[in-house]
Amino acid sequence: MRNIVNLTLIVIILVVVVYLIERYIISTKEVFIHIVDNVEPLYVYLLFTLSESFLGLIPPDLFIVWSEPQAISFGINKWWLVALLAVLSYLGGLLSFLIGRKTAKIPVVNNWLLVKNQKIFIYLQKWGGFFIVTAALFPLPYSMVTLLAGMTSYPIRWLLVLGIFRIVRFFVYAIFLFYIF
């Protein structure tokens, strides 16, 4: 119970800090506009790939929105860039999974997984597919979930199959972002 309270407090503090920065210092929209206007597309794709491979803290929706003006400037169909982002995200999740597999072999991490968090380990092995699909479709850090899936020895073949939902997500969100907003 104490851990849940501590985690809740940390999340609340982070949300408040992000809110205060967003409101009084600089908005995410301003940062994003600056990136779109001043950064080479190759570096933006590199940033996206790194984000999707390690922790996934930058929402991919920002990159989907960014892809529309980029497609216009490149003179190509925006759906090709959405497809590129979707494939990069899928591969980023796979890389994260493989990092999780390697990390789990480190004795300290293995001890932490198997001894101190055995219940979570068993739970993730049993419900890993559900977590992968949920993270693939919704705004959850997909790379964190795939990292944990790798650490818990989730079968890679199922990750490869369920990861396709990540590609579907990009197209569904792109339809929503391009045509509804």
User: What pLDDT, in 10s, does the model give residues 9-57?
Assistant: 776 886 788 778 778 887 766 776 777 678 888 888 998 999 899 877 7
| Same structural domain, 32 and 74 | no
| Same structural domain, 73 and 11 | no
pLDDT given at position 7 = 61
Q: Three-class SS of residue 145?
A: helix
> Is residue 4 very low, low, confident or very high in pLDDT (cuts 50, 70, 90)?
low
How far, CA to CA in Å, does 163 sit from each of 18, 27, 145, 152? 30, 32, 11, 17
Q: How many CA atoms lie within 13 A of 141 on its CB side?
A: 16
Is the per-residue pLDDT at 128 higher than 90?
no
| Same structural domain, 8 and 53 | no
| Same structural domain, 19 and 107 | no
| Same structural domain, 29 and 115 | no
Look up the pTM and report it. 0.78
Is the per-residue pLDDT at 81 higher than 90?
yes
Domain span at residue 31 reads 1-36
| Same structural domain, 53 and 138 | yes
Classify 75 in phi/psi space as left (phi over 0), alpha (psi -120 to 50) or beta: left
| Same structural domain, 109 and 30 | no
